[in-house]
């Protein structure tokens, strides 16, 4: 679902537009923090019914908070712990309809009800994860997953 004041196409068209906007924001820029910052700001503007969008970056066997939009968050997450740590450990997207049913969920914001985490992979290396939380249960579906994975693929080409 998209912010209807900004994006008026179909869900697919809106995601494609956001990916194009991301590519334009990243063109010619090589600074990782700048690119992650703009990516999180774009997602925060673009998606509706979310309360957090940002990145955790790989540091040895844990994730460390990176650029984000939302309330203050947990700073370090071990691989295998919570939704982010699980995604990092498995190197695959984890989509959770109800975070309260996810074993070991780390509650940084009590308002969060659902979550999607997409790993940032480049040349076989785990750079970190994209984490998006929503105050609405079942916020993220297969189409969101597909296009957020494409968004991350575009982003990783610039990291």
Q: Chain centroid to CA 125: how far?
A: 17
Quote the CA–CA distance of 116 and 12 in Å, as a whole number.
18
- Tell me 47's DSSP state: B
Q: Output the pLDDT for position 17.
A: 93
Q: How much is the average pLDDT of 62-83?
A: 96
Q: How confident is the model at residue 108 (pLDDT cuts 50, 70, 90)?
A: confident
Instruction: Establish how many alpha carbons lie within 13 A of residue 36's alpha carbon, considering only the half-sphere containing its beta carbon.
Output: 19
The per-residue pLDDT for range 116-136, each reduced to its tens digit, is 999 999 999 999 999 999 999
82: Cα separation from own chain's centroid: 14
Above 50 in pLDDT, residue 152? yes
CATH homologous superfamily for the domain 11-156: GAF domain (3.30.450.40)
For residues 121 and 91, the answer to whether their CB atoms sit within 8 Å is yes
The structure's pTM equals: 0.93
- What residue ranges do the domains of the chain occupy? 11-156
Q: What pLDDT is stored for residue 1 in this prediction? A: 46
**Residue 103 — pLDDT band, cuts 50, 70, 90?**
confident
CA count, 13 A, side-chain hemisphere, 37:
6
């Amino acid at each position: 679902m998209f912010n209807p004041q900004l994006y008026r196409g179909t869900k697919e068209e809106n995601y494609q537009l956001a990916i194009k906007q991301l590519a334009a924001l990243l063109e010619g820029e090589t600074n990782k923090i700048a690119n992650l910052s703009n990516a999180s700001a774009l997602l925060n503007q673009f998606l509706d019914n979310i309360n957090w969008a940002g990145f955790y970056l790989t540091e040895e066997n844990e994730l460390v908070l990176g650029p984000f939009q939302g309330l203050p968050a947990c700073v370090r997450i071990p691989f295998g712990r919570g939704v982010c740590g699980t995604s990092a450990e498995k190197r695959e997207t984890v989509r959770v309809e109800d975070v309260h049913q996810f074993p070991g969920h780390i509650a940084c914001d009590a308002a969060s009800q659902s979550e999607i985490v997409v790993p940032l992979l480049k040349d076989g290396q785990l750079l970190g994860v994209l984490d998006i939380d929503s105050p609405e249960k079942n916020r993220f579906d297969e189409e969101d997953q597909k296009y957020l994975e494409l968004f991350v693929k575009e982003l990783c080409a610039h990291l």
